[in-house]
Structure 1
């Protein structure tokens, strides 16, 4: 859980946008939190009396989504010392690609990467990217039994314990589920670059609003969500929680 609010982060610039910050922030939140299309968000906003086109919503999500995700990641604690890695097949414009994902023992997404193959070079590239991005070295790495993991592990982080077991890697496999849900809602991904950009923002924003309610009481869940919405408002530059868009 997130225990409190930190200060000092810089909100993104909305200069040149004729819509208020609250509207832009709300549309970006809707898109990355729920399996909605841009046209569905346009309709939801119309019901609230806000006239905004789906193309405008698309541009907002493309411009501000990653910035907001980065702001949320800066508020997260340091990664845990046990990393779970997994790769899944995704179809992008009809072609087979592989989505690589790493999470720590708390389920926090450390990074995602779309690659063409799952040979020895693919996990090696992902390992190096992880070390550079997190600026830390794990105590344990947990993967499935794909043999290319072992070769990459021995080359990139030989001092780290490696556990290769299908049953131990549920944490990373479960983290793929929201992505699969969005993939179905979007009727598949269209391009490698677009998929990477969307998932980079999605994996930073969506988990922020998923505090696993089955692990806490209803009152604690509401209190936790209040904190998380307040953090979102700080990240996006909203001055107060709006009652309307």
Structure 2
């Protein structure tokens, strides 16, 4: 807050610790806790939450690491943003990826 100045409004959920922290700063009157106001901040964490949910399935960190290494290489191989390219280019890239994947699995 020192570097960027004091904000006009701080949007939080209704957790009491936020109010206590804002009291320390002297900004408790700037806190806004409306019902849908925190959606923008909450939805920015969705990819992280998805990964966090996947982590909960593993009992040991070592098995999670083994899975994550394999999954990351395969996911990056297949995951391409469909909205960034035309359908024909997408289908050509997809066919190339599948043929390469089949070649890797056959070996």
Considering fraction of residues, name the structure with more helix: 2
Considering fraction of residues, name the structure with more strand: 1
Rg larger in structure: 2
Q: Which has the higher contact order (CA 8 A, sep 6+)?
A: 1
